Amino acid sequence: MSYRPLTEKEINLLVSQGCISEGWKEISVHKDFTTTNIINTRFEGKIKLGVISRTISDVEGITRKCGIYNSYIRNCEISDNVCISNVKNLANYSVGDHVLIENVGSLVTDSETTFGNGIEVDSLNEGGGRGLPIFDKLTSQVAYMAVLYRHDKEFTSRLMDMIGEYTNSKRSSMGRIDSYASIRDTLIIRDVSIGSYTVISGSSLLENGTIVSCKDAQTFIGEGVIARKFIILSGSVVDGNALIEKTFVGQGVKIGKQFSSENSLFFANSEAFHGEGCSIFAGPYTVSHHKSTLLIACLFSFYNAGSGTNQSNHMYKLGPVHQGILERGSKTGSFAYLLLPCRIGSYSVVMGKHYTNFDSSDFPFSYITEEKGKSELTPAMNIFTVGTRRDSEKWSLRDRRKDPEKLDLIHFDLYNPYIVGKILNGIGILNELADKTPKTQDFINHKGINIHRLLLKTSRKYYEMALKSYLGNEIIKRLGKIDIITSAHDLRERLRAGGTDGIDRWVDVCGMFAPASKIETIINDVRSGKIGSIKGLTERLKEVYQNYEQYSWEWCSDLINRHTGMSFDDITTDKIIEILEDWKLNRVKLNNMILKDAEKDFDESTRLGFGIDGNSDIRDKDFHAVRGEYHENKFIIGLQKETAAIEKTADMVISFLKKLT
């Protein structure tokens, strides 16, 4: 674009409009520039000005005439049709077109900076040792590998070099305010890169950070926010006097209501209100909504923190060992306390206070309770609770990310090779414990937590129900349309996996399920230099993510082969039918157990306090008016329909298979 110097006439006009500059010659303007709406403004240093003539609307839809009014501008490039009004100090910024900046104290790039990229965040261990330089393309997968794979020094070193290379590419002494951003009523913004369509309104201080935003996923930074050393990605909202420092905020995240965060990472769709986060690694869908909740030095994902949840380590010796792993789908009840370090298995619920260090990761879907000051584990109980089922349905529906480029790779399947692998492992351990525990012993201590002997057999049965449900479900998914299957041979061909990449151990890479071998290959390729950039690494992870269905079936078919003792070369139709009959029986049973659990929400004990001044009839009417009826509940109806559909599908497929030769 061609720029020209100001003409004498234009300088005179600007002076007559209250503008000041000691270096008018340093100002270059677009060829179609007009002075009309440049009023009471002081210019200093090198300035570029575009065509400023149209109108601009703010987020409330109020229209303003574009122009530069009552401001001080130093070393800035200003594009077309902006409205800059009452800005006390705008310095060293490139301002995109259609940007609105109004009532801002200081908006400056002070010196060369990387705009929050490369700031080291001590997540997971506040004592350090797992520091991660944050950047505006960070994904939960890359963060997981960088923070948790410290045993592999070569990989970590290469990865840090790649991150360093990326963050250095962001270095500049000129900040950016990209097109259509709106910045209003804000005190100080220093060394912050502001993406297009960002809305900043009423913030107190934003310093050394990057805000990524786009038309489809606007980012909003609201009132009272104090943010230092940060990255905030698209579609996120940080408002309500939130106080964040050395913090990464991923896509579609909400932080507000005076939440304070330090040295923490929040990935896709997390929500943090009221409480405090210190050195946390909040994987996708980490939620903390209540006051008095302190989350400290833990890894979470798909997590819900009850009010007053707290973790600590009181054994100060060489310093606190704050590190907890709460695997996918965990929940902590009100005032649940965990002594760190500890590890909680997937989809487990923690209630009460736990004063010993334990590891329950062998047993997904567990209840962890405090009984008379002792930590007890009830394995598999959360398989048939309504909460687990509701959660697993809601997460995918609550993906707020609208950015065309979704950074975190997220799988939502409740049952998958990682979780079912854990279930199989759990069954093995329960069997082993049952074999060696005498009937005279009430409790068994497994990795620091107590399991009641009576539960060993029962919990194993619940896990087996889930396992049978999974196997049949996967076969049904794989079979798809069955009408073109004409023989047992066709059936075996349809079910044949066609590969073995997915058959071994799986990992949950902070939202993404993947065969461990695939992640190991990626790590090797980083070590060897075959993957040499963050872009290359995220692309490779994406490939694994996209192949999930294929790998997952390979794992499942291998399991079926081991389970039945038959490979897909020789598996009989009768064996497939047997798996499907088991599926039908156990899925229906599980659904009914979940329904039974949901029924508790409608029984008499839940009506306490309803119908406050009336008799039991009024109580019931009040309860129904507020909570509705069991048989009208949307979730209940959905589950009942699902059960009917399972029965219908199973009967139809089994009857079809029986006819195959």
Partner 1 sequence: MNREEVNNRVKKVIAAVLEKNVSDINDGANFVTDLGASSIQSIRLVAGFEEEFSIEMDEEKSLQVQTVSGAVDFISAYL
Instruction: Report the SS3 class of residue 282.
Output: strand
- Neighbour count for residue 596 (Cβ, 10 Å): 11
- Which amino acid makes up residue 607? R
Question: Which tokens in the block code for residue 259?
Answer: 């939440």
Which stretch, 57-65, 253-261, 276-284, 454-462, contacts partner 1 (CB under 8 A)? 454-462
Per CB under 8 A, 2 contacts partner 1: no
Stretch that binds partner 1, among 172-180, 203-211, 450-458, 648-656 (CB under 8 A): 450-458
Q: Which is nearer to partner 1, 321 or 593 (CB)?
A: 593
Closer residue to partner 1, CB minimum distance, 389 or 492: 389
Using rule CB under 8 A, residue 367 touches partner 1: yes
379 touches 395 (CB < 8 A):
no
Of 439, 481, 631, 659, which lies in the binding site for partner 1, with binding defined by CB under 8 A? 439
Rounded to 10 degrees, the C-alpha dihedral 145/150/151/157 comes to: 90
Token readout for 370 is 């405090």
- Widest Cα–Cα separation across the chain: 102
Which residues 6+ apart lie within 8 Å of 209 measured at CB? 115, 116, 191, 192, 193, 227, 228, 229, 230, 231, 232
Nearer to partner 1, 458 or 500 (CB): 458
Using CB under 8 A, which of the segments 50-58, 455-463, 532-540, 627-635 binds partner 1?
455-463
Q: Give the residue with the Cβ less far from partner 1, 578 or 597.
A: 597
Nearest distance in Å: CB 384, partner 1: 8
Interface characters, 372-411, with partner 1 (x: CB under 8 A) = ----x-x--x---x--------------------------
> Rounded to the nearest whole angstrom, what is the least distance from the CB of residue 430 to partner 1 in the complex?
12
520 DSSP 8-state letter: H
Which CB, 461 or 489, lies closer to partner 1? 461
Using CA atoms, how far apart are residues 587 and 597, in angstroms rounded to an integer? 15
- Taking the least distance from each CB to partner 1, the nearer of 30 and 460 is 460
Torsion, CA 196, CA 199, CA 204, CA 207, rounded to 10? -20
> Any contact of residue 13 with partner 1 (CB under 8 A)?
no
By beta-carbon proximity to partner 1, the closer residue of 208 and 369 is: 369
Indicate which single residue of 177, 214, 455, 526 sits in contact with partner 1 (rule: CB under 8 A).
Answer: 455
CB 255 within 8 A of CB 242: yes
CB 451, min distance to partner 1, A:
11
Q: Closer to partner 1 at the Cβ: 153 or 457?
A: 457
CB 597 to partner 1: min, Å? 8
Q: Which is nearer to partner 1, 399 or 642 (CB)?
A: 642
- CA terminus-to-terminus distance, the chain: 74
Which of 309-334 are b and which e, b meaning 16 or more Cβ less than 10 Å from the residue's Cβ? bbbebeeeeeebbbbbbbbbbbbbbe
Count of residues of this chain found to bind partner 1 when the rule CB under 8 A is applied: 22
Task: State which of residues 592, 633, 640, 649 lies at the interface with partner 1 (CB under 8 A).
Answer: 592
Task: Scan residues 520-579 and list those touching partner 1 (CB under 8 A).
Answer: none
Q: Are 351 and 367 in contact (CB under 8 A)?
A: yes
d(CA 393, CA 513): 17
Smallest distance, Å, CB 287 to partner 1? 23
Query: 341 preceded by cis ω (within 30°)?
Result: yes
Among the listed residues 150, 374, 400, 452, the single contact to partner 1 using CB under 8 A: 452
Q: Which segment (156-164, 311-319, 335-343, 456-464) binds partner 1 by CB under 8 A? A: 456-464
Residue with tokens 């050393």: 229
Helix ranges (H only) for 565-633 are: 573-599, 616-627
Cα–Cα dist 30/43, whole Å: 16
Q: Nearest distance from residue 605's CB to partner 1, in Å?
A: 7
Asked if residue 369 binds partner 1 (CB under 8 A), the reply is yes
451: left (phi over 0), alpha (psi -120 to 50) or beta: beta
| Smallest separation, CB 354 to partner 1 (Å) | 15
Measured CA to CA in angstroms, residue 3 lies from 8, 45, 51, 79 at distances of: 16, 16, 11, 11
Rule CB under 8 A: which of 462-501 touch partner 1? 462, 465
Report the residue number, 11 or 585, with the smaller CB distance to partner 1.
585
Kindly tell me which of 94 and 591 has the beta carbon lying closer to partner 1: 591
**Tokens encoding 505:** 């151990």
Partner residues linked to 431 by β-bridges: none
Select from 15, 20, 315, 454 the one that contacts partner 1 (CB under 8 A).
454
**Residue 116, helix vs strand vs coil:** coil
Where do we find the tokens 């005439």? 65
> Which residue among 171, 398, 530, 596 contacts partner 1 (CB under 8 A)?
596
CB of 593 vs partner 1, minimal distance in Å = 5
* Site residues (vs partner 1, CB under 8 A): 367, 369, 376, 378, 381, 385, 439, 452, 454-455, 457-458, 461-462, 465, 589, 592-593, 596-597, 604-605
